[in-house]
Structure 1
């Protein structure tokens, strides 16, 4: 249990730092190439683990294709969108906006699963979370040129969160039908993510994005950042997170959602001198409060308090 909590905090810090690293990395690397480098390194490492532990890819073609597709939707596309968004959006803001993922997951689950209905409490949480997004985007509008300000970066980050929401429900549906080994899932999905980011790396320049650059032309700092993002922030962090889920359960493991934005904002302010103002704090607070309501974590806390209040008080010290 103690080791699981240690991994929990390490994963939170590692994933929270990803936004800082991406913000610095995209100054030299195009977004899709940044994502490809990250997932490519992770895919190589995951497949090496697969070979060393004598695991194999699924022999069922449908399962293999679904896992590859999951990697594209849940990893490759959002990593690219996040990196693209961070060309114009601060790292702390990105971490906060990306925390909206569970809200999208709940909305999609309402239509995907018969036992996942949206309750009035969840609707309130969704409304509060989107209110937080409005506060955050109004901050950028105010610092830009009014309603003509460019919000393409924020939109890309929100679409990345939507991809995560789709991927969460997609993977849940897959696990209901079959339960493949987690290392196999990680290896195949990272391979799928590598394929889609490789395609995007050469396709996006046709739409006006930056062309891929030679790795030999990168500064040592950005090259190190790309390596760390791939090996530590993706490969190692994913292995740790599987241990967190095994040790603490999925519900507690999902609490990283609340810690990551705090880490990203703190690191952005500390290393990139990003501004922490009232709008950022209010918007972040609204999103986090909304997540508490959406995830249904308020009711158990209230029930626990009611139960404690009904217990007879001890006479000690009275």
Structure 2
């Protein structure tokens, strides 16, 4: 039976690292897209990450499940592999052609709101309380304030409605796959990360061939960017994501989605010299307040444990 989530100081550190990593990824992805098409970029970074993790996993013994799994667990693995990277990557790559970047950002922030009700019914210890619900709604409001009117502007594209549905579907994929991952029986996190990436590779490579044909010959710079994307925000981040979900739970993991827009904006200010939006401070206050309110109990236990250890 799945144990109740345990949120520690390590959990907070990992979520902060993931938020920073994925927030900075947007800038690198934009550079990569100048030399390769969207689906092949997804296939390249996932495939590279899968090979890298496979080498590490095999060097560590190639263990996956602690006990012998049933057919249902194996089927769930395939569903998680599809829903945690391959399908949402493709949905976002297609959808962002027809929607504003602001709408895509808000849709990703909605992952937390997708996870909340699902976790209430499906994950032990993840009860939906008024404090937690209000905290997540305040955090989501902070993301909307940061992105501003761009989130709901129309592009005028003929397929804009379908593009918006694709972005929302991608968010649902992330939320559902997080719940399924938490409900798996005892499993080795490196093995789980590897298998999920292998499943995703088996899906996204054929899809890229069907949609975009044979890949273009990328430059050395593009290959280096793909290798970086495969190593850091895909392989490493996927392992950290698995670790957080399996220990602290999918609801806590979904806090990452509120951090990503903040880090993305800050990176643009620091590295590209972009002007700071006037809503930045208010958005930051709302997001931090929402996180603090939703995780009040976990923060209280963490500080109490640290005081007791002194």
Structure showing greater Rg? 1
Query: What is the correspondence of 1:257-272 to structure 2 with a 5 Å cutoff?
Result: 257=257, 259-272=259-272
Q: How far does residue 229 in structure 1 lie from its aligned partner after superposition? A: 0.6
State the match for 1:197 in structure 2.
204
Q: How far does residue 8 in structure 1 lie from its aligned partner after superposition? A: 6.7
Distance in 1 of aligned mates of 2:239 and 2:274: 31
Q: How far does residue 230 in structure 1 lie from its aligned partner after superposition? A: 0.7
Distance in 2 of aligned mates of 1:244 and 1:22: 24
| Aligned mate of 2:62, from 55, 66, 69 | 55
Distance in 2 of aligned mates of 1:244 and 1:124: 23
State whether structure 2 residue 191 is matched by structure 1 residue 170: no
State the match for 2:90 in structure 1.
80
Query: What is the correspondence of 1:226-305 to structure 2 with a 5 Å cutoff?
Result: 226-239=226-239, 250=248, 254=253, 256-257=256-257, 259-272=259-272, 276-279=276-279, 282=282, 286=286, 289-293=289-293, 296-299=294-297
State whether structure 2 residue 79 is matched by structure 1 residue 69: yes
State the match for 1:181 in structure 2.
188
Distance in 2 of aligned mates of 1:288 and 1:147: 35
Q: Over aligned residue pairs, what C-alpha RMSD do you find?
A: 4.3
- For structure 1, list consecutive stretches of 5 or more residues without a partner in the other structure: 206-210, 308-318
Q: How far does residue 164 in structure 1 lie from its aligned partner after superposition? A: 1.4
Cα gap change, 1:80/1:22 in structure 2, threshold over 3 Å: closer, same or farther?
farther
State the match for 2:22 in structure 1.
15
Q: Conserved in 1, the CA contact under 8 Å of 2:18 and 2:237? A: yes
Once the two structures are overlaid, the 10-residue window that deviates more, 53-62 or 41-50, is 53-62
Cα gap change, 1:149/1:136 in structure 2, threshold over 3 Å: closer, same or farther?
farther
Distance in 2 of aligned mates of 1:73 and 1:124: 27
Q: How far does residue 89 in structure 1 lie from its aligned partner after superposition? A: 4.6
Q: Conserved in 2, the CA contact under 8 Å of 1:97 and 1:157? A: yes
Is the partner of 1:278 in helix, strand or coil? coil
Q: Conserved in 2, the CA contact under 8 Å of 1:102 and 1:291? A: no
- For structure 2, list consecutive stretches of 5 or more residues without a partner in the other structure: 1-7, 305-310
Q: How far does residue 124 in structure 1 lie from its aligned partner after superposition? A: 2.6
Distance in 1 of aligned mates of 2:162 and 2:206: 22
Distance in 1 of aligned mates of 2:295 and 2:235: 30
| Aligned mate of 1:101, from 107, 111, 133 | 111
Q: Conserved in 1, the CA contact under 8 Å of 2:96 and 2:104? A: yes
